[in-house]
Amino acid sequence: MSNEDILQLEAEATDKNEWKREITKKLHQKVATGSENLSIYKVPKNLRKVKDEAYNSRVVSIGPFHLGNHALVAMRHHKWQYMQYFFARIEDHQQSLQCLEVCTNAIYDLDEKVRGCYSEKIDHIDKNVLAEIMLLDGCFILELFLRYDQHLNMKLEDESDPIFNSAWMIAALRHDLILLENQIPFFILRSLYDAMKSHLKGTPNSVTSLALKFFEMNQKSTKEEPDTKNHHLLHLLHKFYLPNLDSTTTNHQLKRSVTEIRPGHISISVSVELTSHIQHVSAIHLTSGIPRPEQAAATNIKRWGFNFSASNLLWAGIEFEKGLSEDHLLNITFVKGIIRIPPVDIHLTSDSLFRNLIAFEQCSLRSTHHITSYLILMKSLISSTRDIKLLRERGIINLLNHNSVGDQEYFTEFKTILDMVVVKDFCFGKLCDQVNAYFIYVIDSSSIMSLYIYVVSSFTIYVLFCGSRNGSLEKGLDGIRKFLCKKFVLK
Q: Give whole-number Cα distances, 369 to 334, 374, 389, 426, in Å.
A: 21, 9, 27, 7
Asked which of 26-40, 414-428, 430-444, 446-460 is least confident by mean pLDDT, the reply is 446-460
Mean pLDDT of 316-325: 90
Look at 378 and 37; give whichever has higher pLDDT.
378
What pLDDT is recorded for position 226? 62
Exposure b/e, 296-320, CB count within 10 A at least 16 = b:
eeeeeeeebbbbbbbbbbbbbbbbb
**Alpha-carbon distance values, 397 to 15, 326, 390, 401, 456 (Å):** 65, 15, 9, 12, 30
The fraction of the chain above a pLDDT of 70, given in percent, is: 73
Q: List pLDDT tens digits, range 169-207.
A: 999 999 999 999 999 999 999 999 999 999 998 888 899
| Span of 68-72, 333-337, 426-430 with lowest mean pLDDT | 68-72
Report the pLDDT value the prediction gives residue 476, as an integer from 0 to 100: 61
Per-residue confidence (pLDDT) for residue 94, from 0 to 100 = 96
Residue 135's CB: how many other CB atoms inside 10 A? 21
Q: Which residue has the higher pLDDT, 156 or 44?
A: 44
pTM of the model: 0.77
> What are the pLDDT digits (tens) for 56-68?
999 999 999 998 8
Q: What is the pLDDT of residue 443?
A: 75
Local confidence band at 22 (pLDDT 50, 70, 90 cut-offs): confident
pLDDT of residue 78: 94
Residue 228 banded pLDDT, cuts 50, 70, 90: low
pLDDT bucket at 463, cuts 50 / 70 / 90:
low
Instruction: Measure Cα distances from 182 to 51, 186, 227 in Å.
Output: 17, 12, 19
**Mean of the pLDDT values across residues 101-111?**
96
Identify the band that residue 407 occupies on the pLDDT scale cut at 50, 70 and 90. confident
Domain boundaries defined on the chain: 1-28, 45-216, 257-444
Confidence of residue 35 (pLDDT cuts 50, 70, 90): low
Task: Give 251-309 pLDDT, tens digit per residue.
Answer: 344 443 333 333 333 333 322 333 333 333 323 332 233 333 333 333 332 468 999 99
Lowest mean pLDDT among 102-116, 293-307, 405-419: 293-307
Check residue 473 and give its pLDDT. 56
Q: How many other β-carbons are positioned within 10 Å of the β-carbon of residue 333?
A: 18
Provide the pLDDT confidence category of residue 321 given band limits of 50, 70 and 90. very high
Averaged over 463-489, what is the pLDDT?
54
What pLDDT was estimated at residue 151?
Answer: 86
Task: Answer whether residue 455 shows pLDDT above 80.
Answer: no
Q: Per-residue pLDDT tens for 339-382?
A: 999 999 888 889 999 999 999 999 998 788 999 999 999 999 99
Q: What pLDDT sits at residue 278? A: 34
Q: Which range is least confidently modeled, 251-260, 314-323, 469-478?
A: 251-260
Which whole-number Å values give the CA distances from 433 to 82, 307, 439, in the listed order? 53, 9, 10
Per-residue confidence band for 461, with pLDDT thresholds at 50, 70 and 90: low
For residues 148 and 144, give the distance between their C-alpha atoms in angstroms, rounded to a whole number.
Answer: 6
